[in-house]
């Protein structure tokens, strides 16, 4: 039976009967970076989410449908895939940041179990950790033995791995267009200089954030099956199942590739590319005629799989006596290695009457940056929130009030809620830090976030209802761990009156139908409306079929948790009995993106309370609060989980995470999980997640916003606690002790 619905008489139509069109702005995401573009869509009425209070599953709390599989180990990740005759592949990387390399494979080919060894790249190597050779062997251990047997003839070349080395007068060439990009200038410097003359106070300081790694628990990589009949199957840990399918076609020399991504262990913006690992695995599988398992080692992951770029920002900020921001001047250097780096620009979030910003990229002989949750926003947040705090103290203005005076109503309301929850009203140090002689001190800090998170038309969802009552929802979208599989099932179950377990969600295969890449928090707002549309169409088709069987009208039949109810005859059929009347093929309905079901733009406010020990320099975050809007929460448990995850990542960024490169030797000193510090269970504070509900909006992706301001709030709380302003992350005890010593001298 066709799932296409007749047009509603309420839908606006052109004279020729076609739907009228309207233009809307939607996010376009490339490699995790979001821009807004204008598209044209049908201006027609469609399914609606309905009143929030009448929703049975959505907007409530429920457990993920794949929770048991994940905690018991049944969930299959790319790393878990084992195929008959499969070989394990391992890279050999260049240990120097810049060198001429020649590779000797002869010894590796003699290692027992090694089937193949080949050069990936020789000649000039431009970053430390760049893969130069690969070994394929029958076991993982044999691959490691073979990799150790490869000999590299290295001719070191001059390198630059720090900003200072790259900008020095005699610096070696990093980028053939220069070691620094031409500055991007915004605003009028002369106007800003004049505006500072009107300010009651102004501060100027330099703030820096380090390079941070994505730290995905599942490393990058793929398992590539042997291509045959102009087709191939690839298991890939990716945020872009469909885009990566196109990347594999070239090296496999086939016209059709199915990418399978049932579960993945983290991406955070880094997994949009097949990468050198995907290309090499494909070439090996193609040439050797055996499946290839090539997942990066943890060290490879740290050195060659991208990172969040670092930056320094020199900021001058001035305002009126009552805290209104008048002038801002900023100079920003981004550090993205061979990449350009990311920065959202200044001023960030807050309104400033007059501003001027100069921003450039400084290149080094290190792996290029990739998108990482809210690309560029955490960097901008740290500088802006820190400078705003410093200005508030200079003016003697309440830290919450100065923020409220320079943002819109939504952020102001969220700030007030966060301040109440963190205990701001009772806090004694609202406009001055605690400069007493107390040993242990407590401080509070704040930060704001914003993000797009809207959807766009790319997903195509199929809902099938079988005569035995089984229901399947099918779409090729990947689940990064944010709960896609769960809300796909929940949306369909809500529409059909079924329990959550009554719907099977099939995702993560390109053969299941098109879906968007997961970046920029656009997945939920792109996919959920298409799922709703498919479920709506399936329900309509089911009721039309049942109306014929029951000699009733479709609009007199009601689906609820008890099955099907006929308002005319007062008859009721159970779900299974109703489905048993369907033809053997059952019902299949398709849904696509519906603009009216999605919205765009989220806001958040966070507060952090810290305890510092002035004898030891110990910094302990004792409480974090996040007030976050997100449109319609599909699963309130899932939304809170995302908020907690964002706050934890921000805490770890604030206190621990930093890539360390020895500047004279160019060696990575902490490319592992032992030396690269991450927040663990003992560092996790009390966390409060408050959903700022708005019943007027559709679904919006919100996860990236939650990572933006937490580290800034923590830095501000440290200053509030003891008067030491830490302007470089990570915020460590040695920096705090040095700051306390400087305070005593001054």
**Residue 743 CB-density burial (10 A; 0-12 exposed, 13-18 middle, 19+ buried):** middle
Q: What confidence score (pLDDT) does residue 1 get? A: 34
Confidence category of residue 30, pLDDT binned at 50, 70, 90: low
Determine the Cα–Cα distance for residues 289 and 253; give it in Å rounded to an integer: 13
Of residues 377, 220, 373, 235, the one with CA closest to residue 302: 220
Determine the Cα–Cα distance for residues 43 and 596; give it in Å rounded to an integer: 9
Task: Tell me 510's DSSP state.
Answer: G
pLDDT digits 0-9 by tens, 147-200: 999 999 999 999 999 999 999 999 999 999 899 999 999 999 999 999 999 999
Q: What is the mean pLDDT of residues 382-391?
A: 98
Q: What is the set of domains in the chain, with CATH numbers?
A: 21-58+455-595 (3.30.365.10), 78-157+220-295 (3.90.1170.50), 310-453+599-745 (3.30.365.10)
Return all residues near 252 (Cβ < 8 A) that are at least 6 apart: 224, 227, 232, 234, 282, 285, 286
Q: What confidence score (pLDDT) does residue 5 get? A: 35
**Bigger pLDDT: 18 vs 646:** 646
Q: What confidence score (pLDDT) does residue 42 get? A: 63
Q: What is the mean pLDDT of residues 626-630?
A: 97
Q: How far is CA 695 from CA 51, 416, 702, in A?
A: 8, 20, 16
Return all residues near 40 (Cβ < 8 A) that are at least 6 apart: 21, 22, 23
| CA end-to-end distance (rounded Å), the chain | 82
pLDDT at 10 over 50: no
pLDDT at 7 over 80: no
CB 136 within 8 A of CB 87: yes
pLDDT digits 0-9 by tens, 233-257: 999 999 999 999 999 999 999 999 9
Q: What confidence score (pLDDT) does residue 746 get? A: 80
Q: What confidence score (pLDDT) does residue 33 get? A: 64
Q: What is the mean pLDDT of residues 640-655?
A: 98
pLDDT digits 0-9 by tens, 454-499: 999 999 999 999 999 999 999 999 999 999 999 999 999 999 999 9
pLDDT digits 0-9 by tens, 446-455: 999 999 999 9
pLDDT at 12 over 60: no
Alpha helices by DSSP H, 80-187 = 106-109, 140-149, 163-167
Return all residues near 277 (Cβ < 8 A) that are at least 6 apart: 91, 131, 220, 221, 222, 294, 295, 296
- Among residues of the chain, what percentage have pLDDT more than 70? 94
Confidence category of residue 8, pLDDT binned at 50, 70, 90: very low
Q: What confidence score (pLDDT) does residue 2 get? A: 35
pLDDT at 532 over 90: yes
pLDDT digits 0-9 by tens, 305-326: 999 999 999 999 999 999 999 9
Q: What is the largest CA-CA distance in the chain?
A: 91
pTM comes to 0.94
C-alpha R_g of the chain: 28
Report the SS3 class of residue 353.
coil
pLDDT at 19 over 80: no
Q: What confidence score (pLDDT) does residue 46 get? A: 78
Q: What is the mean pLDDT of residues 20-32?
A: 66
Q: What confidence score (pLDDT) does residue 9 get? A: 33
pLDDT at 298 over 90: yes
Mean pLDDT of the chain: 95
Q: What is the mean pLDDT of residues 662-671?
A: 97
Return all residues near 307 (Cβ < 8 A) that are at least 6 apart: 211, 212, 213, 214, 337, 367, 369, 370, 372, 659
């Amino acid at each position: 039976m066709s799932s296409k619905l007749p047009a509603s008489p309420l839908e606006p139509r052109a004279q020729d009967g076609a739907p009228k069109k309207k233009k809307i702005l939607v996010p376009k995401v490339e490699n995790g970076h979001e821009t807004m573009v204008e598209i044209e869509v049908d201006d027609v009425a469609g399914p609606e989410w309905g009143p929030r209070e009448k929703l049975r599953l959505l907007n409530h709390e429920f457990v993920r449908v794949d929770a048991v599989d994940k905690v018991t180990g049944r969930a299959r990740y790319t790393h878990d895939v084992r195929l008959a005759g499969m070989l394990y592949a391992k890279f050999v990387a260049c240990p120097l940041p810049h060198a001429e390399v020649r590779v000797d494979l002869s010894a590796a080919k003699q290692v027992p179990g090694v089937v193949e060894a080949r050069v990936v790249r020789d000649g000039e190597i431009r970053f430390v950790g760049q893969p130069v050779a690969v070994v394929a062997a029958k076991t993982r251990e044999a691959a490691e033995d073979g990799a150790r047997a490869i000999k590299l003839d290295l001719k070191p070349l001059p390198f630059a791995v720090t900003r200072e080395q790259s900008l020095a007068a005699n610096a070696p060439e990093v980028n053939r267009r220069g070691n620094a990009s031409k500055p991007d200038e915004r605003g009028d410097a002369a106007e800003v200089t004049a505006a500072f003359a009107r300010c009651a106070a102004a501060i100027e300081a330099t703030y820096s954030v380090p390079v941070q790694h994505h730290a995905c628990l599942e490393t990058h990589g793929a398992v590539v099956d042997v291509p045959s009949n102009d087709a191939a199957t690839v298991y890939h840990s990716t945020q872009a199942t469909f885009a990566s399918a196109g990347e594999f076609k070239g090296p496999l020399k086939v016209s059709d590739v199915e990418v399978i991504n049932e579960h993945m262990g983290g991406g955070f913006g880094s997994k949009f590319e097949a990468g050198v690992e995907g290309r090499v695995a494909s070439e090996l599988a193609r040439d050797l005629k055996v499946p290839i398992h090539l997942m990066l080692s943890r060290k490879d992951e740290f050195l060659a799989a991208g990172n969040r770029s670092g930056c320094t920002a020199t900021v001058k900020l001035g305002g009126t006596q009552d805290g209104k921001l008048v002038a801002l001047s900023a100079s920003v250097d981004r550090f993205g290695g061979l990449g350009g780096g990311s920065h959202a620009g200044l001023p960030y979030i807050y309104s400033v009457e007059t501003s001027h910003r100069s921003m450039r990229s400084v290149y080094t002989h290190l792996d290029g940056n990739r998108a990482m949750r809210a690309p560029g926003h955490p960097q901008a947040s740290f500088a802006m929130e820190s400078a705003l705090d410093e200005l508030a103290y200079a003016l003697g203005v309440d830290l919450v009030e100065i923020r409220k005076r320079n943002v819109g109503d939504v952020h102001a309301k969220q700030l007030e809620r966060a301040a109440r929850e963190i205990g701001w009203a009772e806090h004694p140090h609202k406009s001055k830090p605690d400069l007493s002689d107390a040993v242990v001190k407590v401080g509070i800090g704040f930060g704001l976030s914003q993000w797009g998170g809207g959807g766009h038309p790319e997903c195509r969802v199929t809902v099938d209802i079988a005569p035995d009552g089984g229901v399947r929802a099918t779409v090729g979208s990947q689940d990064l761990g944010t709960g896609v599989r769960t809300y796909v099932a929940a949306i369909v179950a809500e529409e059909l009156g079924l329990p959550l377990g009554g719907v099977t969600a099939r995702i993560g295969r390109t053969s299941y139908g098109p879906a968007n890449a997961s970046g920029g928090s656009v997945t939920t707002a792109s996919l959920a409306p298409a799922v709703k549309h498919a479920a709506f169409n399936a329900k309509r088709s089911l009721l039309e079929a049942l109306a014929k069987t029951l000699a009733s009208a479709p609009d007199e039949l009601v689906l609820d948790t008890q099955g099907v109810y006929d308002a005319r005859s007062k008859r009721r059929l159970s779900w299974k009995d109703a489905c048993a009347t369907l033809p053997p093929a059952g019902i299949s309905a398709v849904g696509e993106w519906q603009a009216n079901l999605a919205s765009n733009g989220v806001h958040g406010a966070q507060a952090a309370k810290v305890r510092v020990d002035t004898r030891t320099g110990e910094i302990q975050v004792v409480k974090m609060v996040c007030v976050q809007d997100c449109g319609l929460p599909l699963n309130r448990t899932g939304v809170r989980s995302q908020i907690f995850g964002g706050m934890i990542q921000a805490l770890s960024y604030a206190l621990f995470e930093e890539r360390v490169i020895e500047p004279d030797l160019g060696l990575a000193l902490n490319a592992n999980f032992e030396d690269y510090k991450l927040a663990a269970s003992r560092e996790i504070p009390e966390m409060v997640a408050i959903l700022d509900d708005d019943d007027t909006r559709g679904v919006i992706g919100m996860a990236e916003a939650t990572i933006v301001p937490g580290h800034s709030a923590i830095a501000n709380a440290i200053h509030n606690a003891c008067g030491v302003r830490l302007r470089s992350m990570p915020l460590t005890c040695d920096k705090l002790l040095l700051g306390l010593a400087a305070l005593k001298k001054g």
